Amino acid sequence: MDTGTAYGRPAPAYRKELTEVSAGSPMGELLRRYWHPIGLVSTFTSKPLQLRILGEELVAFRDGQGKPGLVYPRCAHRGASLYYGRVEERGIRCCYHGWLYDVQGHCLEQPCEEGGGARRDNVRQPWYPLEERYGLVFAYLGPPQRKPVLPRYDCLEELAPGEFVEADDSSIGSGGPQLVPCNWLQHWENVVDPFHVPILHGSFSGAQFVAQMAAMPKVKFETTPRGVKVESLRPAEGGKTHRRVTEVVMPTLRVVPNPRVAKYGRVESIGWVLPIDDTSFRIYVAGRVTEKGELGKFRSRMAGKLWHELTPEEHQRHPGDYEAQTGQGAITFHSEERLATSDKGIALLRRFLEQQLKIVADGGDPACVAYTQESAYVRLEAGQELQ
Ligand code: FES
Ligand SMILES: [Fe+2]
């Protein structure tokens, strides 16, 4: 009898505690203990912006004094959306009855009330703190008493002459729409999966990076105080070895040296995976460059074309990260996985996340949360060299 047919297979399931990001969910609370980039500095303007972050609907703007704001959309008066509000010198004014809120949600004016509102000080529009750095706006959506210092990263702080930091929000590395319609963890786990590189980006779709990266690497996986680190060794020219270290760092950092091996040395950029909700994410990148627009320059080509130029059939013939990860489904079914020895990075990362969930559940501070400038300075190991 032939067994193993698709008939009668168990109902699939995914691990909610690792994937779901709404407020009150275990991962949602873990992620809410960190700053996350939520936009380019340039997208915060006097035109209110509708954003979804970690499953929360929010409105972002920049007041006339240049201060960025992030507020709950429903006006504290009677719920009109501040998306239709007008941004002024001191904040955002609701279109319905004109209540004016500053970037911290203080109600400054109630024009329909006697004397501009004697009790307006009792009103607070729910808001979140923001900080700007590396060309990105970072938001903290967690408990105020646990707000950490916004970290600095050595690879974006220690610049060589002629280098500067620029930000990019175009898409995942190999191209695709800005909003990727699958769970954020599918993408983050991909960073500690070096074995997909010679297959997906090496042989299956043709060399998407450079020939050197198509070789099957010798790999060492390790948990670090910040996340998980992967060291890949590949043969290189002149009998040398190409040593490449990539890291995932809490909360959602992708610290990956340029896979086109344009330069050797320490990692050039950091990518953040921002969960929009449980079934979509987007990417923000900040990197050291010597030329404006350099970060967006290294897009993979499949059959000589950029991602958005491919026909549906070409996507099928030349899949990249977007196809592989969205192909796993909106949230991959962990119950149907068979982790093998080459998936050690994934296993270490999930274990690391489980430990961080437990720390938060027990009332502690998870990895990489720091409350002083000094301890919030992060030194990374990622980079690549010839040995
Ligand atoms: S609903 Fe916003 S001011 Fe009335
Ligand atoms: Fe990839």
Statement: residue 346 has pLDDT above 90: yes
Statement: residue 8 has pLDDT above 90: yes
Rounded distance from Cα 77 to ligand 2 centre (Å):
47
Rounded distance from Cα 104 to ligand 1 centre (Å):
17
pLDDT at residue number 173:
72
Rounded distance from Cα 173 to ligand 2 centre (Å):
8
Rounded distance from Cα 52 to ligand 1 centre (Å):
22
Rounded distance from Cα 98 to ligand 1 centre (Å):
6
Split at pLDDT 50, 70, 90, the class of 225 is very high
Q: Could you tell me if 184 and 331 are in contact, meaning their C-beta atoms sit under 8 angstroms apart?
A: no
pLDDT at residue number 243:
95
Secondary structure of residue 276 in the 3-state scheme: strand
Mean pLDDT of 165-174: 87
Rounded Cα distance between 255 and 272, Å, is 9
- The percentage of the chain sitting over the pLDDT mark of 90, rounded to a whole number, equals 84
The protein residue whose alpha carbon is closest to atom 1 in ligand 1 is: 78
Ligand 1 atom closest to residue 110's alpha carbon, by position in its atom list: 3
- Own/partner pairs, 288-296, CB within 8 angstroms, 24+ separation: 288/155, 288/156, 288/159, 288/160, 288/163, 288/164, 288/165, 289/163, 289/164, 289/165, 289/166, 290/162, 290/163, 290/164, 292/166, 293/166, 294/166, 295/166, 295/167, 295/168, 295/269, 296/168, 296/170
pLDDT at residue number 86:
98
Mean pLDDT of 149-160: 98
162: left (phi over 0), alpha (psi -120 to 50) or beta: left
The pLDDT tens digits for 317-339 are 999 999 999 999 999 999 999 99
Statement: residue 253 has pLDDT above 80: yes
Statement: residue 203 has pLDDT above 90: no
Q: Could you tell me if 306 and 320 are in contact, meaning their C-beta atoms sit under 8 angstroms apart?
A: no
Query: Which of 97, 101, 123 maximizes ligand 1 atoms within 8 Å of its Cβ, making it the mutation to test the pocket?
Result: 97
Split at pLDDT 50, 70, 90, the class of 167 is very high
Query: Which of 59, 75, 81, 84 maximizes ligand 1 atoms within 8 Å of its Cβ, making it the mutation to test the pocket?
Result: 75
Measuring CA to CA, which residue among 249, 244, 251, 246 is closest to residue 224? 249
Ligand 1 atom closest to residue 97's alpha carbon, by position in its atom list: 3
